[in-house]
Amino acid sequence: MPTQVVTSDLFRRHDNIGHPENAERTLVMYQAVQQSPLVDYLTFIEPVLYPEEPLYQIHSERMIEKIKEISASQNSWLDLDTYVCTHDFETARYAIGGTVQLIKNVQEGAANNGFALVRPPGHHATTQTSMGFCLFNNIALAAQELVNQGKKVLIFDLDVHHGNGTQDIFYDSDNVLYQSFHLSPHFPGTGAVKEIGIEEGKGYTVNAPLSFGHGDTAVETLMKEVFLPIATQFNPDFILVSSGFDSHYADPLGGMHLTVDMFGWLLEQLLPIQPRLVCTLEGGYNLSVIGQCLISQLSVLCGHPLFYKDTVVEQNGWKPILTSIKNKMKRYWDI
């Protein structure tokens, strides 16, 4: 069974040439994959349109109707960061639908795993508000489809920005384990260690707020001592990954010091816990690097890992963060 990649020119309709989250992002990533040795091991599929009705399971009517109304007639801005283009009510639903289609294909045995090379991204969109370049929360809506089937879902977020929307949506749920490492202080200002969930969801949100310059060593240690032990005990039926490549050290909107190979390494660690795994694109704005980051992950997914000569100086000082997370999480998990 192949690794499937959802991709389409439809996603380039969502575009603002002066904005970091523009149509060229997916184009350069697709071209990089096509020029790589991986192309023979991948199957590329078109996205399906996600219906309107399930949007209301996650997002408010006001939020949905606002995007629908604007995209019917004009290009506009929802806030200083987040734009809407004509046809975006449809384009954004193709981004969700592509992710959901990959999950369905993995469940039915048509694919081993997959990557949704879709946009606009989603992990900042909350129940009530589109923000942070995101219109609807692609990964949350996809996870909700699995929860509706009685499945347990691990959402692993490796974007440099905390996925406040995803956390918000599942903050009281014990069916979804949300794990994130991210730069702090940084946009959107959430993701503190103390944010662990509420009610039945207590202990099912695990945040690792890292500082400027923290890199591979810090993340490797967090994976081995916190994220992986908790994920193993949770025993998910499916893993969804918010793949934000702005955690790379060269990203203009970042500040963490991950190297290219770390993006593939993270998937190598998650796959033994649950091989049913689908990634969906979030951030990543350095056009000369994001293609390599995607290839790093795809190469692991399809079983033909590729490696890059990519190094950077890392900053120390992350061990107190590790200790703080362990002290908070040991009430809920054996770590």
Q: How far is CA 134 from the centre of its chain?
A: 12
Q: Which of 124, 162, 248, 257 is catalytic?
A: 124
Give the Cα separation of 305 and 235 in Å (integer). 25
Query: Which tokens sit at 222?
Result: 């967090």
Residues 6+ apart with CB under 8 A from 155: 139, 140, 143, 163, 166, 170, 176, 177, 178, 179, 239, 240, 241, 242
Give the Cα separation of 220 and 80 in Å (integer). 35
| Contact between 5 and 38 (Cβ < 8 Å) | no
| Contact between 133 and 95 (Cβ < 8 Å) | no
Residue with tokens 């508000």: 129
CB atoms within 10 A of CB 100: 26
Query: Which tokens sit at 243?
Result: 């793949």
Query: Which tokens sit at 131?
Result: 């923000």
| Contact between 321 and 209 (Cβ < 8 Å) | yes
Residue with tokens 């629908």: 68
Alpha-helical regions (H) of 161-282 = 164-169, 216-222, 228-234, 260-270
Active site residue 186: no
Residues 6+ apart with CB under 8 A from 156: 179, 180, 227, 231, 239, 240, 241, 242, 266, 270
Give the Cα separation of 303 and 288 in Å (integer). 24
Annotated active-site positions, please?
124
